[in-house]
C-alpha cells in the first residue's frame, strides 16, 4: 500500500501553501451577504468551488475540497492541477444554536480508499474545542480519524477551532488556542492547522510572542486572519516555527458575489495565493 508523506502536500521548499474551498453553509451565507439571490442554490457554491480549484490550484501545494458540494465535481472535471495535492474533508458539520457549525463528527459516508483512488493524499477533520466539553471525546474522535487515514495510507490533518464554553460567558480565546494545542498537538495527526493568535492583529512583536508560545506545543500551518493581514501573519507565524498556511477566505473571499467570477479569481485571488507561496519559500529558505 502506498503511504503518503508530508512531502506530498508541500512545495519544493518544504513549506505548505494550501488552499481551502471546503466551506459549506458559511460560504452560502457569504454569497447571501454579498447580494446573491436567496436562497443561494447549491449550484452557486459548487460552481465557485470548482472554478476556484481550477484557477487557483496551480499556485497551491494542496487544495482542500468538501464532499457535499465539490469533491465529486472537481474529480470529474479534473479541476485540481497535477502539481497540487488533493485533500478531502471528512467532517460532518451539524448546525445548531443559530450557527452553521455547532458540532462536528466524522462523516460516516467517507470512503477513504475511494478518495485515494481519485487522487486524494489526505483527509481533514475540524475539531471544535470548548473548555466545558469532554476532552476524552475529542481525543477519541481524533484517534478514530487518524486510524481511518493511516490505515488507508492517507495523511491526517486536524483543524481545532476554539469556541466559547456552552455554559458561562468567560472566554479567553488566546489561552483556549494554547490549551487546545496542548491537548491535541501530539494526538497523532500528521498536520495541525492552528488558529492564528490575536487574529493576526496588533504589533508585530506581540504577534510573534503569542505565536512562539503556541509553537511550543505545535509546529504547523496558521489560519484565521483577515486577508489584508494574512501575508504578515504567515511571515510571523513561520518565524515562530509554523511551516506555512492553509487558507481560504484570505485568498478568495473578496471575489464572492462579484460578476465574472473566473476573471476575478484569476486577476484578484491568484496573485494573492502566488505571493503567499513565495513568502512561504522565502521563510523556509531562512531555515537552511
Q: What pLDDT does 215 receive?
A: 81
288 part of a folded domain? no
Spatial contact of 158 and 90, defined as CB atoms under 8 Å apart: no
Domain CATH code at residue 12: 3.20.20.70
67 part of a folded domain? yes
Which residues lie closer than 8 Å to 283 by C-beta, 6 or more apart? 15, 234, 235, 238, 239
pTM of the model: 0.96
204 part of a folded domain? yes
What's the domain count of the chain? 1
1 part of a folded domain? no
Q: What pLDDT does 220 receive?
A: 67
Q: What pLDDT does 49 receive?
A: 99
117 part of a folded domain? yes
Taking only the tens of pLDDT, the chain with its 288 residues reads 899 999 999 999 999 999 999 999 999 999 999 999 999 999 999 999 999 999 999 999 999 999 999 999 999 999 999 999 999 999 999 999 999 999 999 999 999 999 999 999 999 999 999 999 999 999 999 999 999 999 999 999 999 999 999 998 799 999 999 999 999 999 999 999 999 999 999 999 999 999 999 887 786 666 778 999 999 999 999 999 999 999 999 999 999 999 999 999 999 999 999 999 999 999 999 998
185 part of a folded domain? yes
72 part of a folded domain? yes
> Which residues are the active-site residues?
193
116 part of a folded domain? yes
Q: What is the DSSP string of 124-193?
A: EEEEEE-TTS-HHHHHHHHHHHHHHHHTTT-EEEEEEEE---SSSS---HHHHHHHHHHHHTTSS-SEE-
Q: What pLDDT does 1 receive?
A: 82
Domain range for 33: 6-283
Amino acid at each position: 500500500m502506498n503511504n503518503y508523506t508530508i512531502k506530498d502536500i508541500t512545495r519544493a521548499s518544504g513549506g505548505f501553501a494550501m488552499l481551502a474551498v471546503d466551506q459549506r453553509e458559511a460560504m452560502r451565507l457569504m454569497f447571501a451577504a454579498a447580494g446573491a439571490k436567496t436562497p443561494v442554490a447549491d449550484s452557486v457554491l459548487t460552481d465557485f468551488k470548482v472554478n476556484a480549484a481550477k484557477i487557483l490550484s496551480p499556485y497551491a501545494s494542496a487544495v482542500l475540497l468538501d464532499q457535499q458540494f465539490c469533491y465529486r465535481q472537481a474529480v470529474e472535471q479534473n479541476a485540481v492541477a497535477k502539481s497540487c495535492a488533493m485533500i478531502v474533508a471528512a467532517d460532518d458539520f451539524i448546525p445548531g444554536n443559530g450557527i452553521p457549525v455547532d458540532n462536528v463528527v466524522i462523516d460516516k459516508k467517507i470512503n477513504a480508499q475511494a478518495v485515494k483512488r481519485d487522487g486524494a493524499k489526505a483527509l481533514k477533520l475540524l475539531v471544535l474545542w470548548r473548555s466545558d466539553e469532554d476532552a476524552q471525546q475529542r481525543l477519541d474522535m481524533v484517534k478514530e480519524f487518524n486510524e481511518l487515514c493511516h490505515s488507508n495510507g492517507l495523511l491526517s490533518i486536524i483543524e481545532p477551532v476554539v469556541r466559547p464554553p456552552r455554559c458561562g460567558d468567560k472566554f479567553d480565546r488566546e489561552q483556549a488556542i494554547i490549551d487546545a494545542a496542548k491537548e491535541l498537538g501530539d494526538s497523532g495527526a500528521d498536520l495541525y492547522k492552528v488558529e492564528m493568535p490575536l487574529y493576526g492583529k496588533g504589533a508585530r512583536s506581540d504577534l510573534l510572542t503569542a505565536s512562539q508560545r503556541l509553537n511550543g506545543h505545535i509546529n504547523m500551518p496558521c489560519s484565521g486572519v483577515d486577508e489584508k493581514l494574512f501575508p504578515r501573519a504567515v511571515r510571523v507565524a513561520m518565524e515562530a516555527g509554523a511551516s506555512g498556511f492553509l487558507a481560504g477566505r484570505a485568498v478568495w473571499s473578496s471575489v464572492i458575489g462579484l460578476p465574472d467570477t473566473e476573471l476575478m479569481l484569476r486577476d484578484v485571488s491568484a496573485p494573492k495565493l502566488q505571493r503567499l507561496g513565495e513568502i512561504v519559500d522565502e521563510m523556509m529558505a531562512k531555515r537552511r
